[in-house]
Every structure is written in structure tokens, then in C-alpha cells.
Amino acid sequence: MAGKKKKRKHRFFWFIAKLHFALLLLVTAAAAWLFFGGYAKEIQTLRAEAVRMVSASRADTFRGNQTSIVYAADNSVISTLKSGKESYYLTIDAIPPNAVAAIISIEDKRFYHHKGVDYRALLRALKVMIESGKATQGGSTITMQLARNIFISQEKTWQRKAQEIFLAWEIEKKYSKEQVLEFYLNNIYFGNGYYGIQSASRGYFNRSVGELSLSQLAFLCAIPNNPTIYDPLTGMGNAISRRNRILKRMLEDGKISDAAYAGALKEVITLERPASVQKNDYVETYAYYCAIRALMENEDFHFRYYFDSEKEKETYDAAYEVLYTECQRKLYTAGYHIYTSFDLNLQEELQGAVDETLGDFTEVNEEGVYALQASAVCIDNESGYVKAAVGGRKQEFAGYTLNRAYQSFRQPGSAVKPLTVYTPAFERSYTPESMVVDEPIEDGPKNSSGGYAGEMTVRSAVERSVNTVAWKLYEELTPERGLSYLKEMNFSKLKREDYRPATALGGFTTGVSALEMAAGYAAIENDGVYRAPTCIVKIVDGAGNEVYASERTEKVVYRQNAARMMTDVMKGVLTRGTGRGLGLGEMPCAGKTGTTNDNKDGWFAGYTRYYTTSVWVGYDMPRKMDGLMGRTYPGKIWQKFMLRAHEGLEPLDFLSYAKLSDEFVSNGGPEEIRPDTVSENETGNVTPGEAQKTE
């Protein structure tokens, strides 16, 4: 028996040896192919460039950065973006030894044994890639990461990887290991605009890094590996798990004792962000998000929202994350002047309308954040730019950065019907005066009134938000076709499960954002032409060169006449329908209410010729709210803001739609219509076979 075990061990040993030999041959062959296959000159150029860049570097190269500035539409300064590197730079002797040990244990265990490149790690990464089919390990040393952060982009190409290797060699020729660690820990990105460990310590714990515990230091060192996944503000659980992994590595490496390890594991991490970041500034967070995506667009990145497989999505997400992080770094360090479309007066009015309307609701959650929340977005209909974006109620609160305007997705209820049901129906020979029937549907929805009105016009069905009519029209249209309009307008959270009749009433798996709804309604106002929402007009570098100029690309989503019909019908919502009483005086306006099951989400979206605004009200953790309907709190916020936004503006009426006879001539006659077309009412979360009753 012992002999057999010995033979098995020998066989396993030789298997591993052969595998490593094969991998070595593969790497050698790849290197030879690159060198002799016409790439020798390119590699020599990369090597020479690495030598030039490192030779020209000084210690100050790793210290300072330029400050970027964000401007409002009137060129007033919204904010300045500083990385904090220069003011928070620490020499290696001021950095806690446990921080150094933690980062080495998790990022580059053989740091003191290589000369910039760890060939074992590269082979290990290649082996994992061959076995799993995924590049899950990069094999980059601390020095290679430093080279990537300071000298080159994060792009994953063989040229960049080769340059990274050459730079790492040169860096370690010129600088000591201690200097490399000092540069690295002062430059690595810790998320949320914090570059360097002292900046991160101040930002997350409001104290110097020298005052942090072992557990807190390991926690900080968990973030740089992936600042999105391990973001303490949005992924605390992930960050804690990686902290624990780092502590285990430190124990295994003999850097900490068993007692220290056990104590650090038990310590509860509590963030304490400084007053300077307690602004809840929704203008800033949305402006930064749009600016980063603008820079990504400059790199020819193609944004996608739908994928044929989960693997395809994973590949996209990985590429997105790498470039997003790189462009975020540039935003804080490149000295850009970022010009936005924000009207700070409108922003103040929109924030005020939210805060005033919800002012009596003072309940807070465990984090001290108001439980009842809202989001709202205003778009300029002439330009298509975002003029104001409110991501929640204003509150003096430490470190809470969720911007619900574009980061929260909720069930839209009947507010989605104009986008997925009625405007598409008007493209298929229905008109506002077409007759439909409000009647019971087996395994279908109920109306909020509990009754059925029989025969009525489409106009009346929209004004009264009749669920049965919307359901029937949507089935006739098909969910595939209805949701295709949302896909055309980049609604980002559509799922396979959403292709069902329930989405006619806003019953989605995930939901929609206030930004998406505002852009969708703005497309209807704009004669069916969609413009992707953004607040970035242009970006200029420190030398005055324009590096990005927004091109307001337009996409025809709905036929012009269908969009004008929808507008005309939604005018009646505000005079005779569910939004009755929410009008704007002499200013013509159109809109739609939305309320989900059990009054968990309330929406109002509407527009004038000047502005489109969408409003959501509800709890972050969905729960029933008595009195919450589209026409109550969301409608009041919308009306209050829109009245103020239109003060002094001349009333402008909407353009009329062509009558059906004109449509016949232009489109060659109507498509075939089923005679029993009908259905609709107001609320989301409807599942097949479940009778629903909503506004």
C-alpha cells in the first residue's frame, strides 16, 4: 500500500513538473513569436519608451497632480476635484508597518525577492487562465501596478503589459524597494476619489493612518484590488470579507500573532467620514458619473445594456470596470475643466420642492438617513441636457452618497404605459378616439375603482389609467415589441423575466430610474426623438485643448405623429384624469401618474415645451405608504417645481397631430386591428394569473 502511495506522489510530482515545463515553453514560444513575428521593433520601441519615462521621473513625479474643476451652465464653479496625493503624502517611515505588511501579503508576497517582475506569478496567472478559461489573475507586482498607475493606462493589451514589465524593471533599477512601497501606497486608488492610504484614512475614518488599528488598516488595503466591488460605501460586506482574507495571509506570513489575528477579525468596522464630504451633493455625483463616461466615450468605448449570455455580460463588465477606474483617476488628477448643463437655480428649486413636500416625514433608518425618499430629474427639451438632478432629500449626513436619480431603480407603475403601450399603439393605427373596451380579463388585472366602464376611447382609458385596456393592448402589441422601445432608449435593467404582460402596468423585475423616465418622456415631447441624457457639455484639459465635446446624437424611437397623439392625450390626464389639479396654469403641460401595488412607489412624469421632469417617491426598502399615489406626493413635487421653473416664460402650446385620414395617406393604410382591443389601469408588480387593483 505504501509503495502505491509513493508511486502516486511521484506521478503527481512529475505531472506538476511537466505542467510547469509546458507553461514555460508556452511563454517562451509566445515571446519568440512576438519577437520574430514582426513585433521585435514594436517591443524595442516600448522598451526604449519605458527607459525614457523612468529616467525622466523624479520622486516628485509620484507626488502631485493637477486639480480638475466642474462648472455649472453659467460657468460658476460647482466643485474642484483633488486627489489628495500632495497634501496627504507620507514618507515610508510614517506609514504603519502593518499597512505595508498587509499590502505585500495580499498583493505581492514575493515583493522583496523579485526585481520588478514576478515570473512565478505570471506563470501562475497563465496556468489559472488555461484551466479556467478566464484571466482571473493578472500576475502584476506592486511595482508593475505602480508603473500602470503613474505612466500608462489600465488597458489590457499585450503592448500595455509589455510596457508595464519594462517600466517595472526600470523603476526598480532607479528606486529602492522602500521608495517603491512609498510611491505605491501614496498613489494607489482607494475609491471615492481617494488616492493614497492617508487620503483614504482621512476620507473613511476621519483620522490619520497612524491612528488606525490593525483591522482598519487591513480593511483599507482590501479596497485597491477592486475599488468598485470593495467600495466601503456600497460594498461593505465585500470589503470585510477581503479584510479577513488579508488578515489570514498576514498570519500565515508570520506578520501578526494568533491573538492579533483573532482580535482584528472581531473588530467591527465603522466609517466616520469628515464633514467636508457630508454634503449629499447630487449635482457633483451625477456630474462626475457623466464626466467619467464621457472620457470613456473618448476612448471609443461602446456602452451596452443588453447581452446574449451571462459570460458576454461578465466580459463587458470587466472591461467597463477597468476603463471606468482609469477615467475616474484622470478626472481627479488630469486638471480638466468640465463644463456642465446644470442650472443651479433649477437644482435648488427641485431640491426645495422635494424637501418641502416631504418635510413632515422625519423617520430615519439605522444609518440616520430619512426613510421616506424621493428622486427627480429635469431635462431641457430644447437641448436634451439634464438641468437638475435630485437623488434624495437634503440632509446633513456623513458619507451617504447614494444618488437615487440615476442609481436607484424602482417599479414605475402606470407611468410607463405611455412608453411601452400607448405611443406604440398610436403607431399601429390606433388614435386617441379609437374605441376600446374596459372589461374583466381572466387571470388579468383589476382597475383601481374595482369596476369596469365598458366601451370607451383610448384617450379616456389613459386619462383614467384603466389597467384592463393597457393589458389587452400590450398583449396585442406583445411584450417583446413593447419593451423594444425601452431598449432603444437605454433602459438598463430589463430582464428576460420582464417579457410578460405584467410589464404593461409597470411590473418589472428590477425597475427604472428617474433619469431613464425623464429621458423617455422627453423623447415623446421631442416628436419621438430620443437623446441620451447627460450633463456634460465639454471637457477641456489644463492646456486649454478640448478633449471632449458632447455630440447630441438623436435616435428616432417613435413616429412623430404617434408622439404628438400621446402628448395630446396626456394633456387630459392633468385636466380630467388621474393628475387632475396638477396643471401649471396657463402653461400647457402633459403628464402621467404611476402607483405600484400596495402604494410602495409613486411616480409623476410630465413636460411642457420647455422642460421634462420625472419624480419618484417611496422608501429605499419598499414598503406600503398610506396616501402615496402618483397624484399625491410625486405630483405635488412635480407641480411645485414646474410652476417655479416656468415663472416668466411665455406659454407655448404643443404641436397638433395629423388626423387618421392623413396617416392613411402617409403610411399606406392601417395595420390590421383586432376588434376586441382594450385594457389598462395604474400599478406595478403584476404577475400573470394575479388579479391586481391599482391607481
Phi, psi (degrees; rounded to nearest 5) at 136 = -85, -20
The values of phi and psi at residue 48, to 5°, are: -65, -40
Nearest one of 550, 549, 554, 486 to 526, comparing CA atoms: 554
Separation CA 596–CA 550 (nearest Å): 36
**Residue 297 exposed, middle or buried by CB count within 10 Å (0-12, 13-18, 19+):** middle
For 393-447, give the secondary structure using H, E and C: CCCCCCCCCCCHHHHCCECCHHHHHHHHHHHHHHCCCCCCCCEEEECCCCCCCEE
Cα–Cα dist 692/577, whole Å: 20
Grid cell digits, residue 264: 482584528
Specify the pLDDT at position 659.
82
Q: Which residues of the chain have pLDDT under 70?
A: 1-40, 64-65, 83-87, 121-122, 124-139, 153-159, 275-280, 397-400, 660-695
* pLDDT of 313: 92
Residues 596, 597, 598, 601, Cα dihedral to 10°? -20
Closest CA to 193 of 285, 89, 61, 317: 285
Alpha carbon distance 434, 676 (integer Å): 12
So what's the pLDDT on residue 5? Answer: 46
* pLDDT given at position 684: 40
Q: Which residues pair with 555 in a beta bridge?
A: 530
In the numeric block, the cell 501596478 is attached to: 145
Q: Determine the topology of domain 19-66+83-276 in CATH.
A: Penicillin binding protein transpeptidase fold (1.10.3810)
How many residues are present in the chain?
A: 695
Q: Tell me if 49 sits within 8 A of 151, measured CB to CB.
A: no
Q: What is the pLDDT of residue 131?
A: 52
Q: Where are the alpha helices (DSSP H) in 300-343?
A: 310-333
The C-alpha atoms of residue 406 and residue 285 are separated, in whole angstroms, by 10
All three cell numbers of 102, joined, read 498587509
CA-to-CA separations, 200 to 97, 183, 246, in angstroms, rounded:
17, 15, 18
Neighbouring C-beta atoms of residue 127, cutoff 10 Å: 16
Q: Tell me which residue of 640, 267, 577 sits closest to 590, measured CA to CA.
A: 577
Task: Give the domain ranges of the chain.
Answer: 19-66+83-276, 67-82+278-668
Cα 304 to Cα 307, 537, 552: the distances in Å are 8, 22, 18
Which helix (H) or strand (E) segment holds residue 601: the answer is strand 601-607
Separation CA 587–CA 540 (nearest Å): 38
Cα separation, 253 vs 104, whole angstroms: 10
Domain spanning 67-82+278-668, CATH architecture: 3-Layer(aba) Sandwich (3.40)
Cα separation, 105 vs 225, whole angstroms: 13
Distance CA 40, CA 321 (A): 31
Q: pTM, whole model, 2 decimals?
A: 0.76
- Residue 372's DSSP bridge partners are 619
**Residue 68 burial (10 A CB sphere; 0-12, 13-18, 19+):** buried
